[in-house]
Amino acid sequence: MDRTLFVLMRAVVVAAPAGLVIWVFANITIGDASILTHCTEFLDPFAYHIGVDGVILMAFILGFPANEIVVPIIIMAYLSTGSLTEFSGLEQLRQLLDANGWTALTALCTMLLCIFHFPCATTCLTIKKETLSLKWTLLSMAIPTVTGLTLCFIAASFGRMLFGF
């Protein structure tokens, strides 16, 4: 019970500020675009090399507090709504992804990043508390992230070379 309450409390402590940051990024504009748009455009060149786009990469970064918000952030950024939106069916989602340049390679690299990336903030805080070690906490973040980025780079390179993605 003690550990469950600890994890739930950490989720609240991390999720509330994260929601505020995501809202600010999506709703505050600089020039003619939101902060989120500026960030995704900045990340686009790097993201291209790992088979995704800046929106997907930014969604993973902003999803650090809770990994389950990565896909809603992607949708919000593509729609430029400034808020999370729910679709009535998968066809709407497919059309949105197609309209934003998704290919089979994009889907594959996004799935690889979903499997191999840093754990959420609550998990990292739990690792820190359980191991009493910043080193192990950072390693638990770095190892899957480097693995995922490497796998995405390899998949994107081969996909572009062999299939012309």
Q: How far apart are CA 102 and CA 92, in angstroms?
A: 14
pLDDT single digits (tens) 104-157: 999 999 999 999 999 998 899 889 999 999 999 999 999 999 999 999 999 999
Contact 91, 104 (CB under 8 A): no
State both tokens at 60.
Answer: 């993973």
Q: What is the pLDDT of residue 21?
A: 87
Q: What is the mean pLDDT of residues 13-24?
A: 80
* Angle ∠(48,54,55) on CA atoms, nearest 5: 135
**Is the pLDDT confidence value at 83 over 70?**
no
**Is the pLDDT confidence value at 40 over 90?**
yes
pLDDT band per the 50, 70, 90 thresholds, residue 85: low
- Quote the DSSP letter at residue 118: P
Q: What is the mean pLDDT of residues 66-70?
A: 87
Burial of 66 (0-12, 13-18, 19+ CB in 10 A): middle
